[in-house]
Amino acid sequence: MRLRTFMPLLLLALLACHAAPQNKSHGPRPQLPVGKLAPGPDMTVARGGHTASVLQDFRILIAGGKDAHGKVLASTEIYDPNKQTFTPAGKMNTPRQGHIAAVLSDSKILIAGGASPAGALASSEDYDYETGKFTPRGNMHARRVGAAVTVLRDGSPLVTGGTDGVQSLDSAETYSVLTGKWSPVGKMSSARVEHTSTLLADGRVLITGGANPKQGILATAEIFDPKTNQFTRTGDMHQARFEHAAVLLPNGKVLIAGGTSRPDGTGALNSAELYDPATETFTVTGNLNEARNKLPDGYVLLDNRALMLGGAVSAEIFDPRSAAFRPVDGALDTARYNSAATQLMDGSVRIFGGYDASGVSTAKSWIYQP
């Protein structure tokens, strides 16, 4: 009899618990920061539109750019991440900003193109880290500012597009480490400036977006095949964009983020998308937390997530598993444009200089620690 009396009471209690109101979430959960962005030491001079390249001994060469007074610089400096110091280094043969830099297979740093006070440049030179000197090399076949560079698997840099100061370019060329000379390769389907080029896992190169006066802001993309030295159109992006960032993820896809779709460079985008080489298509993914443009390319961290920083005051992490961006603790002093950044072996990333919204460059640097 006790059992018969107890069972209905137990059932009622369970039903009451099930019917009890649950705590409801009031909006999305706040995102916890991933990693930290903190101030680093100042460079020896303010710079914007400069480059940063990792040397053989893991120090970093900072080259050219414009100072806080708008002067185009030939000066360079070396950042030592162990000592946290900047030291003046040798001068380039030509002052330049908006140039490209590539680490060569002989451990030298190739500097090419950009703009000097006299206009767009076709000249190139390399930095020998053992002697600390710059040596002039062959001229490119076109003067180029705002071009993109990717080092191919054979060690030769591929330079695409840019502007010669008069028109945007559809041409491309490669540099030979052995001869110090440039060789033209096939032309792109569209002239492009401020686009991206990304080395894919199979050795081909993905070219995305950019701008030109005739076609405006581009959503098109194409593939360069080093076996044929030719470009082939691939699927279009969902968003026309230039001044954006791209990074190859460990799963073989390419993350495209930010940029702008306005010809005057205003109105940064917060959208992002993924390119899949297997299907040759782009898929929309989660949005950035903060719209950003004129930023360095992204960096893959040791845990396979990707870091985006610059072009805005914040930094954020993309997680391929959740297809979402999460904020990084800490921030820059203000939104910084055309800064330079590099990643070190420990997974940390250094960001150097850049312009503020008024176009004034800074000597400040920052350190991202996972």
pLDDT of residue 32: 60
Could you identify the residue written with the tokens 């072009």? 311
Confirm if 176 and 188 have CB atoms less than 8 A apart. Answer: no
Q: In terms of Cα–Cα distance, which of 34, 48, 96 is closest to 351?
A: 48
pLDDT tens string 254-272? 999 999 999 988 899 999 9
pLDDT-based confidence at residue 13 (cuts at 50, 70, 90): very low
Could you identify the residue written with the tokens 């370019």? 169
Share of the chain above pLDDT 70, in %: 91
pLDDT of residue 34: 84
- Mean pLDDT of all residues in 149-176: 98
Question: pTM for this structure?
Answer: 0.90
Confirm if 266 and 247 have CB atoms less than 8 A apart. Answer: no
